[in-house]
């Protein structure tokens, strides 16, 4: 297995504490209305699972998939949905749209617009694990987030991946990248990831 140079940015305990604080802030926003939590597949599944367990029972959960990255470290294609939630879970409902990271904003903008305009959501609240405004390419802001990073690092873990790997790490790590933005491989004697 290929290993990469990295450093840990947030330990599992720190992520758990950030999710506790986020859930506390979301409770008043959710109110008594029917809410559907919709994570963007696949990275948001880890974040969504941990977050919704901290929210009141009775949330409906469905999914949307919008792929833009493929195997690259930056978006490679137009953001458009290719896996849709059940319309009954969206039309006229308050949707809690969840993603692992808000960086360029293209994926989230496409998902939000699609849920409102094509599927008839009454309201879409954007909530992310990581807000990374330094990479924003379109004008969108999260309604709330667990953590914010000003520095532009290539993050993996807790749903974030590099070529499908490292999503299952219980912490966030930053991969060191070369001048082309690709992760640097480790020598065999170095600490591994």
Q: Can you give the pTM of this predicted structure?
A: 0.88
Active-site residue list: 103
Would you say 119 and 65 are in contact if contact means Cβ atoms under 8 Å apart?
no
Task: Please report the domains of the chain, with CATH numbers, ordered by start residue.
Answer: 11-152 (3.40.50.2020)
**Tens digit of pLDDT for each residue in 85-136?**
999 999 999 999 999 999 999 999 999 999 999 999 999 999 999 999 988 9
State the pairing for strand pair 172-175/6-10. antiparallel
Residues 47-98 pLDDT 10s: 999 999 999 888 999 999 987 655 545 555 577 788 899 999 999 999 999 9
């Amino acid at each position: 297995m290929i290993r990469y140079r990295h450093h840990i940015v947030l330990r599992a305990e720190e992520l758990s504490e950030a999710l506790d604080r986020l859930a506390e802030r979301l409770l008043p926003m959710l109110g008594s209305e029917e809410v559907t939590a919709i994570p963007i597949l696949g990275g948001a599944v880890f974040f969504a699972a941990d977050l919704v367990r901290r929210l009141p029972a009775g949330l409906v959960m469905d999914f949307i998939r919008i792929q833009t990255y493929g195997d690259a470290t930056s978006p490679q294609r137009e953001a458009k949905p290719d896996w849709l939630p059940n319309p009954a879970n969206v039309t006229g409902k308050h949707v809690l749209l969840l993603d692992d990271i808000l960086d360029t904003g293209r994926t989230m903008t496409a998902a939000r617009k699609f849920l409102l305009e094509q599927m008839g959501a009454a309201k879409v609240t954007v909530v992310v694990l990581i807000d990374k405004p330094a990479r924003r390419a379109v004008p969108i802001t999260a309604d709330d987030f667990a953590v914010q990073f000003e520095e532009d690092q290539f993050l993996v873990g807790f749903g974030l991946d590099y070529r499908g790997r490292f999503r299952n790490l219980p912490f966030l790590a930053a991969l060191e990248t070369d001048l082309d933005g690709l992760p640097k491989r480790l020598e065999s004697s170095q600490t591994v990831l």
